Structure 1
Amino acid sequence: MKSRDSLNAPEALVLTMVLVSAADGGITDGEIGAMSGQVQTLPVFHDFTTAQLQDVTDAAVQLLREADGLDRAARLIRAALTPNLRETAYALACEVIAGDRRTKDESLRMLDFVREELALDPLIAAAIERGVRARHQQAPTRA
């Protein structure tokens, strides 16, 4: 992160993904893969490098270890993101959770926290959740 006092939009999006990923006590390989895939493919991360992803992830984990880290992270994210990018942040958070087949209650509670902190319209949040769920469906196996 460029500064502990402010973030740019891609940094705030990564911080959001780290929030939900780290909520259950650690970041899994599946979650890292989901975050990396988003950074490599989405236009909002066009000039964002893998090295930056690692730096921001490390700084985000350090921030969350601070006494007021979660509240501070929420303030930084809100300040860095326009309303349309807040929807993107929520979609990315949902993607990270969906990428981890062993989602825990802590991650879902953190997703609720993110939705509330970003002040998303409940209908928009539900639509984002449903879209992510549809993308992560698996075909039944044949016997």
Structure 2
Amino acid sequence: SMRPGEHYMTIAQDGSILEATDTVTGFPANSLLMTSTFDTIYDDDLPGFLCIKTQFWDQQRGDVCAYIRRRTIEGEWIWLNSRAISYVSHPIPGVVIVESVMEDIEEAMRVNRVVRVTAILIQAVEAARLS
């Protein structure tokens, strides 16, 4: 069966998936419920993903997107454009994320590197501020 070109998921603050549509990655939506959205993200791409979640959560900024790799059901990595689009308060607070398949892999890799550096810098600044 053909997979959709994009999917939606509602995630809680801790990354738990509260709701999902049919996925780009081939995982059935119902198998993802209450698992962590972080589990299928490529390690290097987590800072960028956390960045969009945090930016949206703290500042309601929906214009922040990250290019991330997620594992498919076959165990391969697929590039996705991931962004937070809305906030839900019931049953518990969460953020709705929309992710679409990136056709331009080179662009995804280029932006991913920039976002990673930015995310690392932001973390360093935050850490310095808290110490």
With normalisation by structure 2, the TM-score equals 0.31
Report which structure shows greater RCO (CA 8 Å, sep ≥6).
1
In the superposition, the TM-score normalised over structure 1's length comes to 0.29
Structure with higher strand content: 2
- Higher percent of residues as helix: 1
